[in-house]
Amino acid sequence: MTNSQVRNSQLKIAGTYLLLSAIAFATLFPLLWLIGTALKSQSENIFQSPPQLLPSQPTLDNFITVWQSNPLGQYLLNSTVIAVVTVILNLIFCALAAYPLARLSFPGRDWIFILIVSTIMIPFQILMIPLYILTVQLGLLKREFGEFGTYLAVIFPSLASAFGIFLLRQAFSSVPKEIEEAARMDGCSELGIWWFIMLPAIRPALITLAIFVFIGSWSDFLWPLIVIQNENLYTLPLGIAKLAGTFSLDWRLVAAGSVISIIPAMGLFLFLQKYIVPTDAGSSVKG
């Protein structure tokens, strides 16, 4: 390779890294601005021109004020319970629905899959009214059910998702048939194959779906706003929206509350991302 070719290759690599760095900064800039606003003291003007990203006198007073003046701990607990239960139920139901669509043969299988996937194009706003009517008819909003009923009402639309079924169906389809056949020869039942063979084989897809479902449930605002009537059962997005009125649009405090609300979701992603790796399912095939 000549010197000019080496130079051109280095320039391409440098340009690629420069472009990726610019995209990363543009993506992270709103988050950095949010954190910078949350750390600014009351003496700093957050609307100054030119704007200042970094606070001149960083302080945690905004976080302390928000935490002490609002039941963010209760909102955090509510969001955690709803998000965790939603993830567990979504993984179970999506996996149960995706497995026969990927591995079993029965009349109309492909048409059922097409029908399920086509529902992705339907906006949730169109389904809100029928979902709310169904929730009421199921009695989930009755007072005698209390917190349990409210939690179920929030979780109800997210018990399964077309995206989750599609993702897991594709993952199930990629598992070598030899593994399944070997399990059947060993006398494993269909449910046993699903639980002991298939689910471990698609662990990366399950973790990916869990992250998507958790973030979607954690940040959901519209549906909880409709079904939650008790402020003590508010989720974090509803609690953060309430902050805007409580502090008369003091954006430092609203930003502090927003930073608190995104920490669990970011922590979960950072913890689970190392598990999103291809699973060598083929290595367990009997020779």
Same domain, residue pair 13 and 119:
no
Please tell me the predicted confidence (pLDDT) of residue 282.
44
Same domain, residue pair 117 and 226:
yes
Please tell me the predicted confidence (pLDDT) of residue 99.
95
List phi, psi (to 5°) of 224.
-60, -35
Q: How far apart are CA 246 and CA 66, in angstroms?
A: 10
Structural domain containing residue 46:
3-59
CATH number at residue 69: 1.10.3720.10
Same domain, residue pair 119 and 8:
no
List phi, psi (to 5°) of 173.
-65, -25
Q: How far apart are CA 113 and CA 162, in angstroms?
A: 9
Please check whether residue 279 is in contact with residue 202, taking contact to mean a CB–CB distance below 8 angstroms: yes
Burial tier of 79 (Cβ tally within 10 Å: 0-12, 13-18, 19+): buried
Same domain, residue pair 150 and 254:
yes
Same domain, residue pair 220 and 242:
yes
Domains of the chain: total:
2
Same domain, residue pair 29 and 109:
no
Same domain, residue pair 15 and 69:
no
* Side-chain-side CA neighbours of residue 170 (13 Å): 10
Of 20, 38, 59, which residue constitutes the final position of a domain?
A: 59
In 3D, which of 213, 235, 243, 209 has the Cα closest to residue 81? 235
Same domain, residue pair 50 and 104:
no
Same domain, residue pair 78 and 160:
yes
81's tokens: 């319970």
Full 3-state SS string of 54-107: CCCCCCCHHHHHHHHHCCHHHHHHHHHHHHHHHHHHHHHHHHHHHHHHHHCCCC
Please check whether residue 227 is in contact with residue 132, taking contact to mean a CB–CB distance below 8 angstroms: yes
pLDDT values of the chain reduced to their tens digit, one per residue, 287 residues: 677 777 888 889 999 999 999 999 999 999 999 999 999 988 888 887 777 888 888 999 999 999 988 898 999 999 999 999 999 999 999 999 999 999 999 999 999 999 999 999 999 989 999 999 999 898 888 776 677 888 999 999 999 999 999 999 999 999 998 988 888 888 888 899 999 999 999 999 999 999 999 999 999 999 999 999 888 899 999 988 887 765 557 888 889 999 999 999 889 888 888 877 654 444 444 43
Same domain, residue pair 25 and 127:
no
Of 59, 79, 95, which residue constitutes the final position of a domain?
A: 59
In 3D, which of 165, 156, 170, 158 has the Cα closest to residue 115? 165
215's tokens: 């973030």
Please tell me whether residue 177 adopts helix, strand or coil conformation.
Answer: helix
Same domain, residue pair 155 and 251:
yes
Same domain, residue pair 54 and 186:
no
Please tell me the predicted confidence (pLDDT) of residue 245.
67
